[in-house]
Structure 1
Amino acid sequence: MSGLVNTILGGPSGGEGRVKVYRPKVEVKLLKMVQRREGQAERYSAAEREIDLTPFLGDVGGIRTTKNLYEAAGGFSISFSDQRHPKTLDTVAAMVEPMDAIEIRGAREPHRYAGQKLPLIMRGWVSDVERAEAIGQDGTPQRTVTIQGQDAGKFWLIHQVIYEIAYLQDVPFLDLFRMQAATGVDVSFMPVSQFITQLTERIVNDKVRKLSAFSSQQVKPFRVSATVTEGIASATTVASVQGPIWQIAEIFADRPWNELFIEDEEEGPLVRFRPTPCRSLAGDFIMPGATDPGRVDIDADAVVALGLKRSDAQVANFFWVPPGGSMLDTSALVNTATLQRGAPLDQQHGNNRPELYGVRRMQVQTRLLPDGLSGLPSRAPTEAGRRQGGRTVVLWHEKRAAELKAMNRDNAVFEGGSATLRGSEELKVGRYLRLTRGDLTSEAYMTRVSHNISPMQAWTTQVSLERGTGFIERTKRRQTAYFAETTRGPYSQ
């Protein structure tokens, strides 16, 4: 039985109350891409392309998915007792191959999705399959199958830029344009959102199309949501970089000013590139163009464990954004002009005063150029052009430093930590978690989400939290918040 059951319980005074009893539902499907014949990989040609693994989970199986905002790919692990498949009459482990696809769906209240597919938790690709065998103390054999893999971010990791391959394939190019020759990405200066879009569509989706052709199974291409409006990128500035495509994308993501991550959606994986949605103490977005990423509302009843702390570890009052390697002879200009204006200093703000915390520097490098440049300032054809280009670069670095300061000057009062929550498909990275305890409401940003599902037993979700406002909300109250947070919920007893 799945869904929501309203159980009638007698209250302490003889009255009746209703308690929600959750019966989560989960589904795991294997999508065959690869067939192994006599030890060799080939296109999967059997009729049954979709294999339901849900029945094999039983009551001892387990599913774990993990997604981190700062990593290219999320991961999954599925384990269950080894069983014989009714059609092949062989172990289920023999049916799974690396680069087969896995879909994991689930819902805490499945009745809400009657007649529809359950929400997608993760769509990924198998990396390894293990069949572990042991003999128990009672002499009974124990066999377990474990399938592990990564979400669609795996494509960005396994496909790499290797210039030696271009040499071997006799691809003509000048050293300065190796990136263009190896990938097809334009070398001209372009808005950074356009650059990320080209990486996705010209490189990664090309690999997706080739996999689809090999497997005769439609693989959904990456879509792009790139909303960063500031900053210019050029492939020439990373002409010598080799490695995973994600490594190149990260260089121009320009964290912490922007976010770059991949989300699983029904229509296919989405590359999300956006200004970081940090809020100030007043609740306003700091970065230009940042928008509300959405939130998940929970109350104290959904919290299994919560640990938050404030620290001075990330306190700074000197914010410095040095020129990147692409700035060439403008480095001295940026350094001198910025220091003369005193722009990096922030020593009169209450939450990072040097009298309390000492003089601390936060230094982050930007790899982007200011809008409007068509080339590096040092290559401008006239002296006037060089001066104007240099001034543009100086102002860009000062602006980046001001934004870095705005995002980090109040680190002493924001909370960070982790929470274990009642499992829910709505909990995802890149959203705010808004917690209401009694009459006190606060929020924090979710940067890591791990679902742990034991079918027919339990579903919990661990989240990592940043920029929590719990302490800030407490300081706004004229009366103690201790009693306000215990007016309702489990702490009101």
Structure 2
Amino acid sequence: MATNVQLYVPDVRVVVFKTIGRQTVDGQTPVSQRVLDTNRTIDLTPWLGEGGRLCVSKSVREPAGGWSLTVPDKPYAQGNSFESMYGLIEPMDFIEIRMRHNLPGASTGNPTKPPILMRGFVSGISRNEAMGNDGKPMRTVTINGQDLGKLWQIMQIKYMPGYVVGENYLSSFRLFERFGLGFKTSMTASEFITEVVKSIMNPFLSSLMPPNSPNPTAFNLDVSVANGVVDVGGAQNQQGTIHGLLSYFGDVGAWNELYIESREDGEYVVYRPNPLRDINGNVIQPDSLNLTPIDIDAKDVIALNVSRGDENVSNYYWTRAPRFELVDNIVSQQFAIGADPESVDLGHYTNSAAQFYGVRMLETETQQGGNDVTTMSSGQPAAQQATRSASMMNWINNRRAIVVASNKDNVLLERGTARIRANETVKPGSYVRIVRGSFSSTFYVVGVDLDFIPYQGLFQTLTLERGDGFIKRVTAGAGVQSPANAEKSGLANG
């Protein structure tokens, strides 16, 4: 009896581009001719052999992704000269990682080049030497770094006595002039993100890359947040990293996502509403993306670990707008919420009943205003103040409603991890549907960890949230439709 065996041929490629063109050690002492100049490339793919390993991690909840590459310490030849990778690669050299869990005859993207997985910068290099159990020497080089999210973490603004750290960033953006007032008092959230990227981040990236670099020298933008206004005046006094600045004023976390994604045509700053769904499968925010789940068959799942619990249950919701609390009577209006207590207190709602879970408060803050807010300053004419006050109350109520819809059913939703055969189409910020027989569960993927071990396999570990498996179980029919039977139907080992 013939047995069909599916062969997988993982296609992983790693290339380093020199951005550090070292000519001297200290500005005077020249270096050897072995040291590579800028824009020289080192293809590390042939080094991915026995004893090597590639790990790549990315999450929509983190400022930057990370990667680590371990390769055998095989010398790099330049004519008659040889050198270890340890002596050629420096921090802030550029790296490009491509991956495809290739199948014979696969046609995913460019057949001669795997899809892009991550671009980034080197952060550290180490050389490891030891004697093996067989008495033979073992030498490896480990290179690690981050994706381009590293840049908005190292770019910081600090106000010190008589000096502003990062003032070169500020002066490139009129909004943040040290003594200026900006060109208008408010901007939409999307305009704010766009201006910071174009006026602060892009010049920094461009100055970092060598002339005629084949790699991205500017960030592209994928901005889809349609609501929210930012107080420009407030932004001028904010300290910290550029990512912290954008996250704070971008309402990132409870309402929006902000991350950098590597795509074929460049690096993208993604700013979008959280694409979360309620227990009926409907998107919670009307301007968020309705993402199509990527199907993962049970045969590609190596391990699946999911759980539910009451640790994220909330039943009392409060949303503040601190930027308005000193210029309006917002707090007084909020405490007059008694006319609609069910929008705040969900202690009687089935999935967050105080009878079972006690009183659990979830407090959030929005740094933005409604779309029709034109100023967040005090001292406005009475009519304008009243109009803005009503707008802000509507904004706060809407923000709170989104938080309620996103969290009121947490006790039903699953979270956990899935280790699968690597699939280049699965990325952080996507939905996956894990199919087992005639039963399936849908999850939101917030993070992906890739693990490539030469001659063993190419795997991904997905960090999953908001799974609907339990909901489908308790609503499934009886008999052959029961979940235990449905999971096994159609499976050879069922």
**How does the TM-score come out when normalised to structure 2?**
0.89
C-alpha spacing 1:417/1:376, structure 2 compared with 1 (3 Å): same
Question: 1:237, 1:326 within 8 Å by CA — same for their partners in 2?
Answer: no
C-alpha spacing 1:178/1:107, structure 2 compared with 1 (3 Å): closer
Are 2:139 and 1:153 equivalent residues in the alignment? Answer: no
Aligned counterpart, 2:73: 82
Q: Secondary structure at the match of 1:335?
A: helix
Aligned counterpart, 1:63: 54
Aligned pairs (5 A) from 1:430-449: 430-449=429-448
Aligned pairs (5 A) from 1:19-38: 19-38=5-24
Residue identity in the other structure for 2:293: R
Aligned counterpart, 2:452: 453
Are 2:390 and 1:388 equivalent residues in the alignment? Answer: no
Stretch moving more, 322-331 or 423-432: 322-331
Q: 1:142 aligns with which of 134, 138, 142?
A: 138
How far did 1:63 drift?
A: 0.3
Alignment size in residue pairs:
474
Are 2:318 and 1:317 equivalent residues in the alignment? Answer: no
C-alpha spacing 1:464/1:218, structure 2 compared with 1 (3 Å): closer
Question: 2:175, 2:182 within 8 Å by CA — same for their partners in 1?
Answer: no
Aligned counterpart, 1:283: 281
Structure 1 Cα separation of the partners of residues 273 and 426 of structure 2: 21
Residue identity in the other structure for 2:414: E
Aligned counterpart, 1:484: 486
Q: 2:106 aligns with which of 92, 95, 112?
A: 112
**How does the TM-score come out when normalised to structure 1?**
0.89
How far did 1:168 drift?
A: 8.5
Stretch moving more, 212-221 or 291-300: 212-221
Aligned counterpart, 1:328: 326
Over aligned residue pairs, what C-alpha RMSD do you find?
Answer: 2.7
How far did 1:308 drift?
A: 0.7
Question: 2:202, 2:219 within 8 Å by CA — same for their partners in 1?
Answer: yes
Residue identity in the other structure for 1:112: A
Aligned pairs (5 A) from 1:270-419: 270-330=268-328, 331-342=330-341, 343-376=343-376, 378-380=378-380, 382-419=381-418
Question: 2:75, 2:82 within 8 Å by CA — same for their partners in 1?
Answer: yes
Aligned counterpart, 1:207: 204
Structure 2 Cα separation of the partners of residues 139 and 184 of structure 1: 69
Question: 1:260, 1:272 within 8 Å by CA — same for their partners in 2?
Answer: yes
Question: 1:65, 1:77 within 8 Å by CA — same for their partners in 2?
Answer: yes
How far did 1:136 drift?
A: 3.5
Deviations along 1:3-59, one digit per CA (max 9) or x if unpaired, are: xxxxxxx3xxxxx45331212111111111112233248999748722211111212
C-alpha spacing 1:217/1:303, structure 2 compared with 1 (3 Å): closer
Aligned counterpart, 1:7: none
Residue identity in the other structure for 1:109: N
Aligned counterpart, 2:120: 124
Deviations along 1:186-240, one digit per CA (max 9) or x if unpaired, are: 5520110110111111100010111135685653311111111111012322333
C-alpha spacing 1:116/1:327, structure 2 compared with 1 (3 Å): farther
Deviations along 1:115-174, one digit per CA (max 9) or x if unpaired, are: 432111111110111112223455432221000000011111111223459659999x99
Residue identity in the other structure for 2:151: F
Q: Secondary structure at the match of 1:371?
A: coil
Are 2:188 and 1:191 equivalent residues in the alignment? Answer: yes
Structure 2 Cα separation of the partners of residues 183 and 50 of structure 1: 44
How far did 1:374 drift?
A: 1.3
How far did 1:340 drift?
A: 4.7
Q: Secondary structure at the match of 1:147?
A: strand
Stretch moving more, 236-245 or 50-59: 236-245
Aligned counterpart, 2:461: 462
Stretch moving more, 71-80 or 155-164: 155-164
C-alpha spacing 1:178/1:118, structure 2 compared with 1 (3 Å): closer
Query: Which residues of structure 1 form unaligned runs of 5+?
Result: 1-9, 11-15
